[in-house]
Amino acid sequence: MSRRDVTVVIPTKDRWALLRGTLASVLAQRDVDLDVVVVDDGSTTSSGRDASELDDPRVRVVRHERSHGVAAARNRGLAEAAAAWVAFVDDDDLWAPDKLRAQLDALAAVPGARWSCVGEVHVDGALATIGYDTPPPSGDVAPLLLATNRVPGGGSGVLADAELVREVGGFDERLRNLADYDLWIRLALAARVATVDRPLLAYRIHGGGLSRQLVDVLDEHDHVVGKYAAARAARGVELVPEIHFWVADRLERSGRRAAALRSYVRAGWARAWPRIVMLPVPGVVGARDRRRARRPLPAGWDRADLAWLDDLRVAGSGRDRRPEVDPLPFEAGKARNEGNP
């Protein structure tokens, strides 16, 4: 049997309703020979084991009897990966059908590149567009990532040389929210990146549950900042504290306005004052998302690049196609275990 091109690692816990939509988008990848490792990180309900019922020989489910956290789950998937390339995706995000093929082609075109990231579209639980994020340029992005996280999509958009990920140590299991960003810095220090500036990832953002995941994020950020202080000094890089604005936005979405206010203030009055003055206004987050969704697409993007997401919305609206997409209401919550500052 020939070696697969890519192993896709999906950590999950008690979220089969979302996982099956993610799995469908992964298995729909075109022109790539892949296998999938679903890491069930200690699910407490039978729903976490339902992936084993998927009748597809490319999917394997491995299980932690108790939860070890998302970083450990990803590392378990990495240890199980047999392909030359490994890709990571969270169990509630979605891929365009040509995502992996586009990344492999980009890697072949950029000398010295051993990892890749893509553009993302932010969506709510109903897959309505609420924003976009473009990737950095291909090449040496270490100075950029040492300053702030510029890799879109949290833990869902990167494809990397599996041996390189192992060489740099995989995900830091001491981290929960920023384990992805920490690894991207190490990948950037070790090799060039090949980016695909197209919206090939749908990154779901939900309101509820986010505050539970932000308790220690600033401590984690301090840990990551300290970890790479010498690398920043050697390259003359100045830190950009985007983390405070990111945390404030998530806290505001979860309804914790007082905590959001404190984080906005730390982010800097010059940038955050429009958010601060609007904090007491009911429905401001939804209105802001709708306004962002009406903005023009980033330069170089075309509306046709989002046709795959339109197809998923249509598929999700039909009862006979519901297993492909199972969106939660916006208020139901993403309950994500990591983030992208």
Strand pairing report for 113-123 and 192-204: parallel
Cross-strand bridge partners of residue 117: 195
Q: pLDDT value at position 15? A: 84
Q: Is the pLDDT of residue 324 over 60?
A: no
328 assigned to some structural domain: no
Please give the C-alpha separations between residue 189 and each of 103, 115, 142, 144, in angstroms, as whole numbers: 20, 11, 5, 11
Q: What is the pLDDT of residue 325?
A: 33
Side chain identity at 35, as an amino acid letter?
D
According to the model, what pLDDT value does residue 219 have? Answer: 85
Which position has the token pair 């990920």?
Answer: 165
Q: How much is the pTM?
A: 0.86
Q: 199: alpha, beta or left, given left = phi > 0 and alpha = psi -120 to 50?
A: beta
Q: Would you state the pLDDT for residue 46?
A: 60
Asked whether residue 47 is domain-assigned, the answer is yes
Does residue 49 carry a pLDDT above 50?
yes
- Give domain status of residue 251, yes or no: no
What pLDDT was estimated at residue 211?
39
Q: State which H helix or E strand residue 267 sits in.
A: helix 257-267
Quickly state the pLDDT bin for 65 (edges 50, 70, 90): confident
- Across 190-200, average pLDDT: 98
Q: Rounded mean pLDDT of the chain?
A: 85
> Is residue 101, in this structure, part of any structural domain at all?
yes
**Non-local CB neighbours of 254 within 8 Å, separated by 6+ positions:** 207, 208, 209, 210, 211
| Euclidean distance between CA atoms 112 and 134, whole angstroms | 22
Residue 115 neighbours by CB under 8 Å, 6+ apart:
107, 158, 159, 160, 161, 164, 187, 191, 193, 194
Quote the CA–CA distance of 37 and 77 in Å, as a whole number.
6
Q: In Å, how far are 7, 154, 273 from 180, measured between CA atoms?
A: 17, 6, 29
Length of the chain (residues): 341
What is the domain extent for residue 183?
6-117+133-199
pLDDT tens digits for range 87-106: 999 999 999 999 999 999 99
> Domain count of the chain?
1
Question: What number of other Cβ atoms are within 10 A of residue 4's Cβ?
Answer: 18
Residue at 257 is within a domain:
no
Is residue 188 assigned to a domain?
yes
Terminus-to-terminus CA distance in the chain, angstroms? 41
Q: Does residue 339 lie in a domain region?
A: no
CATH for 143: 3.90.550.10
